[in-house]
């Protein structure tokens, strides 16, 4: 069965420092992968997605993610974190039926000044 | 334009009661999804509509849960004989059509259901 693992429940990063959030997936074929961000009181917002092709994907708000098939990973990165990036981040994979998203448990990002 | 809206934003009910949660998708989106997000967890898929029909309801936990989308737009998630374990945030999403990864799912802000 498909699954997504986000090993880090909570991460604290200093403002201006770089960020990497980890995501590992389990999927038989080439996966469609997503990163979403959820701020308090807000709906989930798509940061970026990977379907095929270039394994380094650029998203909104300065985020990028790299697909590594050999490691079954799709880690999210940002070179310089802003205080407004504090939120919950979810990695997801599309199910084999091509409809539902299967989410990880999320990583809460705190930004310290 | 307007995004996905959900009403109510909060619902408190007593164990055993019936509740209805409403979702208004983005205009023109034919695909609609319901997810449930329990505390400390990621969203979990419940049901997917393509137009008026439920194309995949494999995520509904039991027969107390039911959803409809009679005119292919607004959807209502119905929960009978609520239990304390049903307490969660219920999220609705819509996309232009069945995703296949190509159509982004846009999420609403959710309805927080609390069963006392």
Distance of CA A43 to the CA centre of its chain: 16
Measured between CA atoms, the residue of chain B closest to residue A51 is B101
| Window 55-114 of B, Cβ < 8 Å to A | 55-56, 59, 91, 93, 98-102, 104-110
- Per the structure, the complete domain to which residue A72 belongs is given by 3-112
Domain parsing of chain B, residue ranges? 1-9+23-96
- For chain A, give percent helix, strand, coil, nearest 5: 10, 50, 40
| Protein fold of B1-9+23-96 | Immunoglobulin-like (2.60.40)
- Cβ within 8 Å, pair B99-A98: yes
What confidence tens digit (pLDDT) does each residue in B37-75 have?
999 999 999 999 999 999 899 999 999 999 999 998 999
Q: Is A105 on the interface with B (CB under 8 A)?
A: yes
- Whichever domain contains A88, its CATH number is 2.60.40.10
Nearest to A9 by CA among A90, A110, A106, A112: A106
Give the whole-angstrom CA distance, residue A106 versus residue A6.
6
Count the Cβ atoms, other than its own, within 10 Å of residue A85.
Answer: 20
B103 has pLDDT over 90: no
pLDDT band at B99 (very low <50, low <70, confident <90, very high): low
Which of B3, B40, B110 is closest, CB to CB, to A105?
A: B40
B100: pLDDT strictly greater than 70 = no
Q: Which residue of A has its CA nearest to B3?
A: A43
Of the pLDDT bands very low, low, confident and very high (cuts 50, 70, 90), residue A88 is very high
Tell if the CB–CB gap between B45 and A100 is shorter than 8 Å. Answer: yes
pLDDT at B102: 67
Half-sphere exposure of A50 (CA within 13 A, CB side): 26
What's chain A's average pLDDT?
93
Q: Rounded distance, CA B86 to CA B69, Å?
A: 21
Q: What is the pLDDT of residue B98?
A: 66
Among chain A residues, CA nearest to B34: A100
Q: State the pLDDT at residue A1.
A: 80
Share of chain A above pLDDT 90, in %: 79
**How many contiguous H segments (helices) and E segments (strands) does chain A have?**
0, 12
Other CB atoms within 10 A of residue B45 CB: 22
Report the distance separating Cα A31 and Cα A104, nearest Å: 14
Residues in CB range of B14: below 8 A, 6 or more apart:
B82, B115, B116
Residue with tokens 């439920």: B54
The pLDDT of residue A42: 80
pLDDT attached to residue A108: 97
Return the pLDDT at B7.
97
CB atoms within 10 A of CB A39: 13
* A64 token code pair: 């990028």
pLDDT for residue B17 is more than 90: yes
Looking at the complex, does the CB of residue A92 fall below 8 Å from at least one CB of chain B? yes
Could you tell me the pLDDT band of residue A97, with boundaries at 50, 70 and 90? confident
pLDDT at A96 (0 to 100)? 83
**Which tokens belong to B20?**
């209805």
Cα B54 to Cα A18, A25, A62, B10, B21: the distances in Å are 43, 27, 37, 25, 16
Give the total number of structural domains in chain A.
1
pLDDT tens digits along A18-60: 999 999 999 877 789 999 999 987 889 999 999 888 899 999 9
Q: Chain A partners of B33 at a C-beta cutoff of 8 Å? A: 99-100
Least confident of A92-101, B32-41, B71-80, B100-109: B100-109
């Amino acid at each position: 069965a498909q699954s997504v693992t986000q090993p880090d429940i909570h991460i604290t990063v200093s403002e201006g420092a770089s960020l990497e959030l980890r995501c590992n997936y389990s999927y038989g074929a080439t996966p469609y992968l997503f990163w979403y961000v959820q701020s308090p009181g807000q709906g989930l917002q798509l940061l970026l997605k990977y379907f095929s092709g270039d394994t380094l994907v650029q998203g909104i708000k300065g985020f990028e993610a790299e697909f590594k098939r050999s490691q079954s990973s799709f880690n999210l990165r940002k070179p310089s974190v802003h205080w407004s990036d504090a939120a919950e981040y979810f990695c997801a994979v599309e199910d084999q039926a091509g409809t539902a998203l299967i989410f990880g448990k999320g990583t809460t990002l705190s930004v310290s000044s | 334009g307007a995004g996905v809206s959900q009403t109510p934003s909060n619902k408190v009910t007593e164990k055993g009661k019936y509740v209805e949660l409403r979702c208004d998708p983005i205009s023109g989106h034919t695909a609609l999804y319901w997810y449930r997000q329990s505390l400390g967890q990621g969203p979990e898929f419940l049901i997917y509509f393509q137009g008026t029909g439920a194309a995949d309801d494999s995520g509904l936990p039991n027969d107390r849960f039911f959803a409809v989308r009679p005119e292919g737009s607004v959807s209502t998630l119905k929960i009978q004989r609520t239990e304390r374990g049903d307490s969660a945030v219920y999220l609705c999403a819509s996309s232009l059509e069945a995703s296949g990864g190509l159509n982004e799912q846009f999420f609403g802000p959710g309805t927080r259901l609390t069963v006392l």
